[in-house]
Amino acid sequence: MKNGLGWHTPAIRSDKPQAIREAMDSLSHTLGLRISNIKLSGVYTHKFRGVPDHPEVSFRTYYTALYQAGSINQLPGKGVEYYWIQTDKALPLLHFEFMKQQIRPILRDREKVWGGTFLITWEKNQFKNSEIIENVYQLGGS
């Protein structure tokens, strides 16, 4: 997806009483897609600096799935555009370096689950930088 900051992966917020599969199905259906074989592929933690109202650690999960059918719907009035991009072309487009660092091992080996910890620094309500404070490592899978 592309918004005012640049390219990102679509996100699901935990603001609805939905199970993981329900949330993934809801997101994919909203976008006009049907997916199957949803697999957990990454669990990363984000620590924050410069965000006074966010002292807690945030867990970011990544999933892979198989495309079954459908065409992408653009959602009016959201300030976001959605595109289907080949995996070999998607990584360089991502706006945040930490996203690239998190997704790269997933694209390399989808049979494993990856993890790591990143410090995300904001200054005056603007993203400043990120740094790895726990190297990306294999959490599970074969």
pLDDT higher than 90, residue 52: no
112/37 Cα distance (integer angstroms): 15
103/93 Cα distance (integer angstroms): 12
Q: How confident is the model at residue 86 (pLDDT cuts 50, 70, 90)?
A: confident
Check residue 119 and give its pLDDT: 96
- Domains identified in the chain, total number: 1
Q: Where are the beta strands (DSSP E) in 32-125?
A: 33-49, 58-70, 112-123
pLDDT higher than 90, residue 62: yes
The CATH number that applies at residue 105 is 3.90.79.10
Check residue 107 and give its pLDDT: 94
Q: How confident is the model at residue 69 (pLDDT cuts 50, 70, 90)?
A: very high
Enclosing domain of residue 59: 2-141
Q: Which residues pair with 66 in a beta bridge?
A: 36
What count of other Cβ atoms lies within 10 Å of the Cβ of residue 46?
A: 17
